[in-house]
Chain A
Amino acid sequence: MAEQSAEIGFKKDTVSKLLSCFFKEEKTKLSGDAALLMAEMLKIFVQEAAVRSQKQAESEDCDQVDIEHFEKILPQLLLDF
């Protein structure tokens, strides 16, 4: 069970389909390695968003992380990725 919670993340298939949907040309494909790396990258993106929002909420002494906290960290988050 502990192992399962340590491995929260995006599935390779999900990432692969998601990216393929956004490609402009139909012939563009995604290698298996690239899909796994992108899954990792998206996980980091979400974790960064969550941790930074959480820190913002902490600095404002709020118990709940709300959208206003995310709004404040969003510009820098997007500049970092």
Chain B
Amino acid sequence: MKMSVDKDETLQRLKAAVHYTVGRLCQKTGEDHRREFSRQVVAAIAETTFRQCDIFAKDLEAFARHAKRSTVTAEDVKLAARRSTALSIYIQNKSEELNQEQKDLKKKNTGKRKSRETEEESRE
């Protein structure tokens, strides 16, 4: 019983966090186009985003399980973004960006591999 109450509270907090970010993103869009977003529309977008999260989570979990994994990876997210070509390409580029950043971090940490990686970059 106590656990479900805790979980409920966590969900409410997460919902509030989503609402806050949605509000800021809407404000930004509004500023760019000189239009205001009403409080109700921000709340509606926040609620929709929250429910979309539920759908995403269940999809990701199913994809991971299908690949016989218990951890959701970037590959699963790429699969979740398959419905729109532009989104799919965007997510794939982001994923590569993240990989590159991690490579760069490693490069900083281990100076030895530096010469080899710059060689690879120049080939690209």
Is B truly associated with A? yes
Give chain A's interface residues, CB within 8 Å of chain B. 5, 8-11, 14, 17-25, 27-31, 33-34, 36-38, 40-47, 49-51, 53-54, 57-58, 62-67, 69-71, 74, 77-81
**A43 nearest in chain B by CB position:** B25
What residues of chain B lie closer than 8 Å to A17, measured between beta carbons?
10, 14
- Nearest chain B CB to A29's CB is how many angstroms away? 5
Q: Which of A9, A29, A43, A50 has the most CB of B within 10 A?
A: A50
Cross-interface CB contact of A18 among B18, B40, B74, B81, cutoff 8 Å? B18
A contact patch SS: helix
Known A36-B98, A50-B29, A80-B84; contact A24-B58, beta-carbon cutoff 8 A: yes
Q: List residues of chain B with CB within 8 A of the CB of A25.
A: 61, 70
Q: B118 an interface residue at 8 Å Cβ cutoff?
A: no
For the side of the interface on B, what is the size category?
A: 35 or more
Q: Chain B 50-65, CB within 8 Å of chain A: the 1/0 string?
A: 1011101110110011
Task: Give bound CA distance, A30 to B72, whole Å.
Answer: 5
A-B contact pairs, 22 of them (CB 8 A): A9-B21, A10-B17, A14-B17, A17-B10, A19-B60, A19-B72, A28-B70, A31-B71, A31-B73, A34-B72, A38-B56, A41-B77, A42-B52, A45-B49, A46-B21, A46-B26, A49-B49, A64-B36, A64-B38, A66-B38, A67-B40, A80-B84
Check if A29 sits within 8 Å of B61, measured CB to CB: no
Closest to A74 in B: B48
**A residues in contact with B18, CB < 8 Å:** 10, 14, 18
Q: Is B67 on the interface with A (CB-CB < 8 A)? A: no
Told that A67-B40, A71-B44 touch, could you supply 16 new A-B pairs with CB distance under 8 A? A8-B24, A10-B18, A14-B18, A24-B61, A27-B70, A31-B73, A41-B87, A46-B49, A47-B25, A49-B45, A49-B49, A53-B41, A58-B33, A65-B41, A67-B44, A70-B41
> Looking at the complex, which one of A54, A69, A74, A81 makes contact with B29 (CB distance below 8 Å)?
A54
